[in-house]
Structure 1
Amino acid sequence: MADLYELLGGSTPENNLAEEYAGVLDLFGRFAGGVEDGNLRYAWEKAAEVRRYLERFERRIQETEAATDGGEPFVRFTGGDLDGQKVATAAVALGQAYRAGKLLHPVDQIKDEAVKAEVQAREERTQAFRDELGG
């Protein structure tokens, strides 16, 4: 059994960003749960946390430059030096721990077969544990 974080390459800027995104997924799932339960105070608290997490996520990827188009100024994203595919793989893999992550990002989106296998194995272990608790 391989360690998922090791399979993803350890502590990298891409994995750190993916962890931030997974945090957004966690909070969004909690926000949705509050709405579903009719607990509007909890939903309100989670909405504020989602906003803060999204702002932090935006700051982490915000590499922009001023540009002009036909004399009109605008700001464009320059992308930095992050590997978007590595971020995507890690975000989907790490997001599987959360309700919103499972709904938005099916495991089949993971292209790296070793990472996909580890994520699926984790889900199977979790399900077996739940079955033991319920049985």
Structure 2
Amino acid sequence: MTDLYAALGGSSPENNVGEDYARLVDYFGRIAGAMGGGNLYYAWDKVDGLRSALAAFEARLSEEVTEDGETFRRFTGRDLDGSKVSAAAVVHARAHSVGKLLHSPDQIKDETVRQALLDSEERVRQFHEGLD
């Protein structure tokens, strides 16, 4: 387990929501890149993945309920720690280029998590620098 993953608390419902959110960010970034490059086929191809990612995100935060013969989805994320979800969302989203544009490490309130993210990103930067 990496220092960053350990700082986030390992496998948790909050991390799972953050990972699902990052998947959405990734698909939006891919579609935006395709549109910017004029590659409409690639954009169209990624829409199906976005639909699946949205469905998984919705399923993670809700449950299907039937009342009075009517079936609907109800929000079930009330027990999640919002600050942990926020930190996980920022950490996981920053693995994608669009996530870096949307989220600053300063959004993470937990200093241990923020520092672990910055350390991880610095190690990656140094690795890429060493490849040049």
TM-score when normalising by structure 2? 0.83
Asked whether the 8 Å contact 2:25–2:99 carries over to 1, the reply is yes
Overall identity of the aligned pairs, in %: 51
Question: CA 1:133–1:78 in 2, change beyond 3 Å: closer, same or farther?
Answer: closer
The answer on 1:122 being equivalent to 2:120 is yes
Structure exhibiting the larger radius of gyration computed from Cα positions: 1
Runs of 4+ in 1 over 3 A off after TM superposition: 63-66, 75-80
Q: Distance in 1 between matches of 2:8 and 2:83?
A: 11
Q: Which ranges of structure 2 fall in alignment gaps of 5 or more residues? A: 67-72
Output the amino acid matched with 1:27: Y
- The question of whether the paired residues in 2 share the 8 Å contact of 1:95 and 1:101 is answered with yes
How far is 1:132 from its partner?
2.0
Measured after TM superposition, the shift of residue 65 of structure 1 is 7.6
Question: Residues 97 and 34 (structure 1 numbering): CA distance in 2 closer, same or farther, change over 3 Å?
Answer: same
Q: How does 1:9-20 map to 2 (within 5 A)?
A: 9-20=9-20
SS of the equivalent of 1:80 reads helix
Q: Distance in 2 between matches of 1:60 and 1:127?
A: 33
- Residue 131 of structure 2 aligns with an amino acid whose one-letter code is L
**The one of 78, 83, 86 aligned to 1:85:** 83
Q: 1:103 aligns with which of 101, 104, 116?
A: 101
Please state whether the residue corresponding to 2:79 is helix, strand or coil. Answer: coil
Deviation at 1:116, TM superposition (A): 0.7
Normalising by structure 1, what TM-score?
0.82
CA contact (8 A) 1:35 1:43 kept: yes
Question: How many Å separate the matches in 2 of 1:78 and 1:124?
Answer: 36
- In the alignment of these two chains, the number of paired residues is 127
Q: Which residue pairs with 1:47 in the alignment?
A: 47
Listed as ranges, the gaps of 5+ residues in structure 1 are 67-74
Q: How much is the aligned-residue C-alpha RMSD, in angstroms? A: 2.3
Distance 1:97 1:31 in 2: 16
